[in-house]
Amino acid sequence: MNPLRLATAVLLLAGLAPAPAALAISNWRAVEDIPGLTPVQLNVQGESRVYFAATAAKPLKIAVAGPLDMKLVSRLKMDRSQPVGTYTLRVLAGGKVIATQQTETGPSKASPMAGGNFVPAKSRTFEFHVPAGVREISFKPEGSATVFVRLFKTWEGPTGTRDRMISLTPLTSGRTVTLVEGEKQILYYTVTRTERAEFRVIGPTPVQVLARLDFGPNMRGSQRYTLAASLDERELPPYVLQTTKATAASYRERPEVVPSKYDTFSLDVPAGVHVLSLRLAGPAGATGEVHVRIPSGSLENSAR
């Protein structure tokens, strides 16, 4: 048999399929869920972004597996009357400082999704390297500052080569639709308030979710929607997303609705066999579509 056909057959038998090359993602993936912590969701230019709060008394801690590169986007928590702010944020591993962000900032147009009497500052970004052998890092601001931190990891493996993405086929879902966008054809799985898409995942592995809202004939402009996720029936923080119609995409099986532009988020699945469940929590009466994938480096685990 042709080696390429054989590789494809193995992927399909494992409940996996190669992700289209045209949907290659950024080399950075956001950290959207940290066990035991409640995220702070900020409205940034009409889109929800997940941050985590860090203070000197309660540093932000996250498990990692060095060596890897990380990117940090930080925002100072400011009073509404505060015209400018300065802060220092240190990144520590084993009690030693491995990176420092020292910056000045001012009020931004971002706002907390849940409301609050504060203003998120303009974002400040820097990248740093986590050395080999490091298994936990913490983020500690100086003084009395509260800093909101949004974290990104690379998709790169230990060899420094980027992983190809492999799509997962659900154990159960609503209908299957084919998204057509130019020459691309991508399978998505329908989710509603009552219909879930459930995926078998063997960790440890990062998982990326692509989500779209279906636009009916009476839906106009920007629309907010919420995806509920659970891992082995443990509810994860909901993902509040905002989107608009895609201009050049359609569903082959559902010409009466228009796909939205896709939103994406990532989560880390720990070691073991797990079931990731996704459903559309809102708005009422709406339908959405999801497409789930993992780096090809996780294929050996997921194909067992």
Q: Are residues 17 and 58 in the same domain?
A: no
Range of the domain at 278: 3-25+162-302
Q: Are residues 20 and 54 in the same domain?
A: no
Q: Are residues 7 and 39 in the same domain?
A: no
In CATH, what number is assigned to the domain containing residue 230?
2.60.120.260
Q: Are residues 189 and 116 in the same domain?
A: no
- Does the predicted model carry a pTM greater than 0.75? no
| Candidate from 96-105, 197-206, 264-273 with smallest mean pLDDT | 264-273
Is the per-residue pLDDT at 178 higher than 60?
yes
Chain segment 108-133, per-residue pLDDT in tens: 999 998 888 899 999 999 888 888 78
Q: Are residues 58 and 182 in the same domain?
A: no
pLDDT of residue 133: 82
Is the per-residue pLDDT at 148 higher than 80?
yes
Q: Are residues 179 and 141 in the same domain?
A: no
Q: Are residues 291 and 172 in the same domain?
A: yes
Arithmetic mean of pLDDT over the chain:
84
pLDDT of residue 12: 38
Q: Are residues 181 and 80 in the same domain?
A: no
Is the per-residue pLDDT at 92 higher than 80?
yes
Q: Are residues 33 and 21 in the same domain?
A: no
Q: Write down which residue in 102, 126, 154 finishes a domain.
A: 154
Q: Are residues 70 and 177 in the same domain?
A: no
Total structural domains within the chain? 2
Query: Which residues are registered as beta bridge partners of 129?
Result: 69
